[in-house]
Amino acid sequence: MRRVRYYLGGALFWGAFLAVCVLLFWNAQRLARAAGGISLRYGEALEPRVVASALEYARDGRNNAAWSPTFWAVRQGAASANGREETVRMLRVCGDAELLATEPLLYGALPGPAGQGGCAVSSALAWQLWGALDVTGLELELDGERYTVRGVFESGEARAVTQEAADSRTAEYANVELTAMETAPEGTEAALAFAGASGLGTPAHVVDGPALAGLACALALFLILYVLIKGVPHLSWELVSTKPSYLSDTIGILPDIISTLCMVLTTLLFVLPLGVCAAVYLTEYAANKRVVAVIEYAAETLSGIPSIIYGLVGQMFFCQFLGMKKSLIAGAMTLVIMNLPTIMRTTQESLKTVPQSYREGAFGLGAGKWRVIRTVVLPGCVDGVITGCILAVGRILGETAALLYTAGFAHTLYSTLGETLQSSGATLSVALYVYAKEQGEFDVAFAIAAILMVLALIIDIAAALVGKYFQRRRSI
C-alpha cells in the first residue's frame, strides 16, 4: 500500500510538472507573439522621405516581402469636438496598424485600409467628448488637424490613434517595428541589413522581442525545474498529512496547509466585498473627480509599500491595539489592506470597459441606478473581479514578511475553525522560511516550494477555465 501511494504521488506531481511546462511554453508563445518582432529605436525623428522610402522598399520586389515596417510615435496632444476639448495621449502610426495590434499603447488595431489617413479613439475619450460610444464617422480635431473617426477601441484612458499615409508630412517617427513575414531570415542582423538597405540607417537601440521572450522562458523553466527536482523527491504522505512532533522528531506540514487555506479564504471574504464596492462607488457614483483622483492615488501608493511595513503596522494595530494578538485573523486583516488596491484597480478597469450604451438602454427601460449596476454592469465585469481575486490569492500564497509579525509561525492543529483563526499559525510560505532559515531543513523547504508551485499552477488553470466560462456565457 505504501508503494502504491509512493508511485501515485510521484505520478501526480510529475504530471503537474509536465502541465507546468506546457503552460509555460504556451505563455512564452503568447509573449513572443505580443513582442511583435524587432524594434528599431532611433535617437532622432526620421525624415518623411526616409519613412516613405522604407515603406516603398518593403512593398516592392527587393524586400521579397520578408519584413513589414510600422512606424509609430507617442506624444501628448489636444483633442476637440462637440465644443469640448481634452488632453489626450496620441499614438501616430505610419504603415500597417494591424501589425501593432499587440502594442500596449494602441489597445487594438485601427480599422480601415492601411496607408490611409484616419483615426480611432478610446471609449473613454468618445464618452468625454460626445457622451456616447457610437461616434464612427464624426469629425475630430487633433492638434489642429481634422480627422474622421473610423472606430472606437476599449480603454479607460483618453487616447487617440492616427494612421498616416505613406508620404506623411510629419517628421516625428523615431520608432520602427519590424514584423517578420514567413520568408524573413531570423535574428537582428537580418533586421539591421533591412534597415540599411531601405535607407533607415543604423538605429540607436535594437530590441529583439522574441529573444527576450525566449530568455524569460528559459529563466522561468530553470527555476521551475530546479525547485521541482529538489522538492518532489522529498514529498511523502507522512509529510502532508501529519503535524510536526518534537518527541518523535518528525516533520509534518498539515497545520501549515490548513492555515494557508484559512488565510486565503478569510482574506478573500473581506477584501472582495470591500474592493468591489469601492470600485463601484468610484466608477458609478462618485461625481467629484478630485476626490476620485485622491482615492486612486492613495490606493496606488498603498500598492507600492513594502510588505514588511504592512507587517509592522498590522502588529501595532490589529495585534496590540485591537487585542487580536498574533493570530490568523490578524494576518488576514493585514493582507486585506495589502490586497485592497489590487481588487479596486482591476475591478475599476473592468467596469470602465462595460459600454455606456448598456447603461443607457437599462435606464431607458426604467431601471434604477442600483438595479442597472447589479443586473447589467457587474455581470459584464466579472472577469475583472476574478482577475483581481487570482492576483490576490497569488500574493497571499507568497506573503511571508507581513505574516511573521501578525500571524506568527506555530505548527499546531486546532479542533474548531474559530479557534484556528484566533490562534497563531504558519502558512506554507512562512513554514518554508522557518524550515530553511531557522532549522536548516532545506529538503522540507524545497518540498513546500514544490507544493506552492503546484498551487500556483492550479490557480493559473482555474483562471483560464473561469475566463473561458464567462466568455462562453457572454457569447450566448
- pLDDT, averaged in runs of 10, over the chain (476 residues): 61 63 55 59 80 78 66 84 86 69 47 62 83 81 85 78 68 74 62 80 74 69 83 86 80 88 90 90 82 83 86 92 90 92 85 77 82 82 78 85 87 84 88 84 88 79 72 61
Strand 67-81 with 119-122, pairing: unpaired
Instruction: At 271, list the grid cell.
Output: 477584501
What is the helix (H) or strand (E) element at residue 35, kind and residue range?
helix 2-35
* Cα–Cα distance for residue pair 372/107, rounded to 1 Å: 27
In the block, cell 508551485 appears at 453
Q: How far, in Å, CA of 235 to CA of 243, rounded? A: 14
Q: pTM for this one? A: 0.62
Cell of 125: 475619450
pLDDT at 186: 59
Q: What pLDDT score does 331 carry? A: 92
- Start-to-end Cα distance in the chain: 49
- What's the confidence (pLDDT) of residue 266? 92
Cα–Cα–Cα angle for 431, 436, 442, rounded to 5 degrees: 115
Which contacts (CB < 8 Å, 24+ apart) does range 137-140 have? Answer: 138/81, 139/81, 140/79, 140/80, 140/81
Beta bridge partners of 256: none
Residue 317 pLDDT:
92
Pull the grid cell for residue 44: 532622432
